[in-house]
């Protein structure tokens, strides 16, 4: 059976109304797992971060990681949720080998955070309030490697190999309420929500929220209803959406696909679909199990969690300024446009500039170093700005040396090169490379006189009032001093010397 044709996007939004729902899983960056003291380091040798508890061996018992609970509460508070005064964990029973216990410890009808919201700002400034239904604690599953078969995917695999290092890593699942009424902007809203959620959680310092490494994962729920009908359609859940761009593409594709099915008189099947990164399409996965199939029941091995009001308030006191509020404040302080701000955000330069300013540099200088010379260096090395081996403090020091007249811009760049090359602190590079501005007038005058004598025609022009001709002499002096002269002082000396 061939799938019905995709419907052109403009046509979809003219005749259908999408309803979005987003489920985001965030792996916490705690030192240890949710219920045992095993390490959570990404990329370790398989099955080297495991113990009887996370392997589900008989006789082992789980104990809750206090930091993970605190992180869950802080995430909930940042999302304007209420914190449940009492709640239990639940066993979610299923039969895939990715959990050796044969169940995943999760929360079911008693999530720790409920009923919040986040105001999501789109690129043009429009604000969409996204309701948060719940955020609950659970544990991550192990990683399966499917061997054999034609595609290497699980379909047709001969057998699977399991690594349980990730099994039991603390996970927070954040579920939105249904988001109706976004119309043609549904893909944009989905992306903006996930972006903003990522920034928010990053600011809390509770997860590294790396979508590329799987520490943040997004499932997209989507349904269509005929425009104006008010009848909610059947939804699909698309998994494997592993980048912000994919979030947007997955929503857009599902809208076009579902409209095609509905136009052809078909029915949308409630199922899990998989996003294909390369083609930007989704394909059918398993029929969704109903929550009944998971036979949830309260976890008898873990006692209930009852966060006291004082504990919750103490945690509320640790919440940092919201990233978008901070950005607005910095934008005002630095006096930059929306567009300039967006460029800085996209370049990952906000924190770096802000830290450079905090280390004593003027905002303009700090910004110009990070977005110009340092951005070029990062580009040339193929790394993110933040990955450059130079700290905001070191950049601030270079800026201070320039301001003090010890370095000119050219020398300053050489100092930065030295720091990037691992030659030490800026002052050490200045010392070891002998990079200071020649400010000794005696030495400069000698060089100026020599250059004037070598180019008498230029000297005559300057004498005749063509001051701009001095550029050639400045160049010659800079060359003679290997760039270590203060160009402004050289220019002053040239005017002085031709007149004398």
Partner 1 sequence: MPSESGAISRDEVAHLARLARLAVTETELDTFAGQLDVILGSVARVGEVAAEDIPPTSHAVPLENVFRPDELRPGLSQEQALSGAPAAEEGRFRVPRILGEEA
b (16+ CB within 10 A) / e for 385-399: beebebebebbbbbb
Minimal distance in Å, beta carbon 169 to Zn ion? 10
> Can you tell me whether residue 377 is helix, strand or coil?
helix
Pick from 4, 260, 280, 298: which binds partner 1 (CB under 8 A)? 298
Query: Footprint of partner 1 on residues 240-269 (CB under 8 A)?
Result: 240
Sequence-ordered alpha helix ranges (H) in 228-349:
244-263, 309-316, 323-334, 338-346
Q: Of the candidates 238, 240, 130, 133, which has an alpha carbon nearest to the alpha carbon of residue 185?
A: 130
Q: Build a one-symbol-per-residue string for 17-56: x at contacts with partner 1 by CB under 8 A, - elsewhere.
A: -------------xxx---xxxx-----xxxxxxxx-xx-
Instruction: List CB contacts of 186: < 8 A, sequence separation 6 or more.
Output: 18, 20, 179, 222, 251, 252, 255
Minimal distance in Å, beta carbon 292 to partner 1? 10
Pick from 185, 274, 326, 461: which binds partner 1 (CB under 8 A)? 274
Q: Build a one-symbol-per-residue string for 89-118: x at contacts with partner 1 by CB under 8 A, - elsewhere.
A: -----xxxx--x------------------
* Contact flag: residue 135 with Zn ion (CB under 5 A): no
Sequence-ordered alpha helix ranges (H) in 205-301:
244-263
* Contact flag: residue 432 with partner 1 (CB under 8 A): no
Q: Would you say 285 or 348 has its CB closer to partner 1?
A: 285
* Contact flag: residue 126 with partner 1 (CB under 8 A): no
List the beta bridge partners of residue 99: none
* Contact flag: residue 67 with partner 1 (CB under 8 A): yes
Query: Do the Cβ atoms of 388 and 352 come closer than 8 Å?
Result: no
Question: Which stretches does DSSP call E strand in 197-327?
Answer: 216-226, 236-241, 271-276, 281-287, 297-298
- In this structure, the strands spanning 159-163 and 143-147 are antiparallel
- Residue 339 binds what, of Zn ion, partner 1, none (CB under 5 to 8 Å, by partner type)? none
Q: Would you say 51 or 363 has its CB closer to Zn ion?
A: 51
* Contact flag: residue 128 with partner 1 (CB under 8 A): no
Sheet order of strands, 90-93 included: 103-106, 90-93, 297-298
Minimal distance in Å, beta carbon 240 to partner 1? 8
For the record, the structure tokens of 302 come out as: 């873990």
* Contact flag: residue 99 with Zn ion (CB under 5 A): no
* Contact flag: residue 306 with partner 1 (CB under 8 A): yes
- Residue 49 binds what, of partner 1, Zn ion, none (CB under 5 to 8 Å, by partner type)? partner 1
Q: Would you say 300 or 442 has its CB closer to partner 1?
A: 300
Q: Of the candidates 224, 297, 296, 309, which has an alpha carbon nearest to the alpha carbon of residue 260?
A: 224
Distance (Å) of CA 77 to CA 166, 270, 317, 324, 464 = 26, 32, 10, 16, 73
* Contact flag: residue 34 with Zn ion (CB under 5 A): no
Pick from 178, 227, 284, 446: which binds partner 1 (CB under 8 A)? 284
Distance (Å) of CA 11 to CA 151, 254, 260, 286, 491 = 35, 14, 11, 29, 67
* Contact flag: residue 353 with partner 1 (CB under 8 A): no
- Residue 48 binds what, of Zn ion, partner 1, none (CB under 5 to 8 Å, by partner type)? partner 1
**Which residues make up the interface to partner 1 (CB under 8 A)?**
30-32, 36-39, 45-52, 54-55, 57, 63-69, 86, 88, 94-97, 100, 145-149, 153-155, 157-164, 240, 274, 284-286, 289, 293, 297-298, 300, 302-307
Q: Interface with Zn ion by CB under 5 A: which residues? A: 36, 38, 51, 53-54
């Amino acid at each position: 059976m061939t799938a019905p044709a995709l419907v052109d996007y403009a046509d979809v939004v003219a005749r259908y109304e999408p309803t979005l729902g987003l489920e985001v899983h965030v792996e916490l960056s705690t030192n240890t797992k949710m219920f045992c003291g095993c390490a959570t380091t990404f990329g370790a040798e398989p099955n080297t971060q495991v113990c009887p508890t996370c392997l589900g061996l008989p006789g082992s018992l789980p104990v809750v990681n206090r930091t993970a609970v605190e992180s869950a509460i802080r995430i909930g508070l940042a999302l304007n949720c209420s914190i449940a005064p009492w709640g239990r964990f639940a066993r979610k029973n299923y039969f895939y080998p990715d959990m050796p216990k044969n169940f995943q410890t999760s929360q079911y009808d008693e999530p720790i955070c409920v009923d919040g919201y986040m105001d999501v700002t789109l690129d043009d400034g429009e604000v969409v309030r996204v309701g948060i239904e719940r955020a609950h604690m659970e544990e991550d599953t192990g990683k399966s490697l499917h061997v054999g078969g034609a595609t290497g995917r699980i379909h047709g695999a001969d057998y699977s190999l399991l690594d349980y290092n990730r099994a039991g890593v603390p996970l927070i699942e954040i579920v939105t309420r249904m988001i109706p009424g976004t119309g043609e902007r549904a893909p944009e809203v989905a992306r903006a929500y996930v972006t903003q959620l990522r920034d928010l959680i990053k600011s809390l310092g509770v997860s590294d929220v790396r979508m590329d490494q799987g520490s943040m994962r997004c499932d997209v729920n989507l349904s269509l209803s005929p425009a104006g009908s008010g009848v909610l359609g059947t939804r699909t859940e698309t998994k494997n959406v592993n980048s912000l761009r994919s979030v947007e593409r997955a929503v857009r594709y599902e809208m076009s696909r579902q409209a095609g099915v509905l136009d052809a008189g078909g029915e949308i099947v409630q199922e899990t679909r998989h996003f294909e990164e390369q083609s930007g399409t989704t394909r059918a996965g398993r029929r969704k199990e109903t929550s009944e199939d998971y036979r949830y029941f309260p976890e008898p091995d873990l006692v209930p969690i009852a966060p006291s009001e004082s504990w919750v308030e103490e945690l509320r006191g640790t919440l940092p300024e919201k990233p978008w509020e901070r950005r607005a404040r910095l934008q005002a302080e630095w006096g930059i446009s929306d567009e300039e701000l967006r460029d800085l955000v996209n370049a990952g330069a906000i924190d770096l500039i802000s830290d450079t300013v905090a280390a004593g540099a003027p905002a303009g200088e700090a910004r110009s170093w990070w977005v110009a010379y340092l951005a070029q260096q990062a580009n040339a090395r193929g790394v993110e700005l933040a990955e450059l081996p130079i700290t905001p403090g070191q950049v601030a020091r270079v800026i201070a040396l320039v301001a003090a007249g010890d370095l000119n811009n050219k020398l300053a760049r050489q100092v930065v090169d030295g720091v990037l090359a691992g030659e030490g602190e800026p002052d050490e590079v200045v010392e070891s490379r002998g990079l200071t501005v020649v400010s000794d007038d005696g030495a400069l005058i000698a060089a100026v006189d020599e250059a004037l004598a070598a180019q008498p025609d230029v000297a005559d022009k300057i004498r005749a009032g063509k001051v701009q001709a001095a550029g050639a002499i400045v160049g010659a002096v800079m060359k003679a001093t290997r760039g270590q002269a203060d160009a402004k002082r050289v220019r002053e000396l040239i005017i002085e010397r031709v007149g004398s």
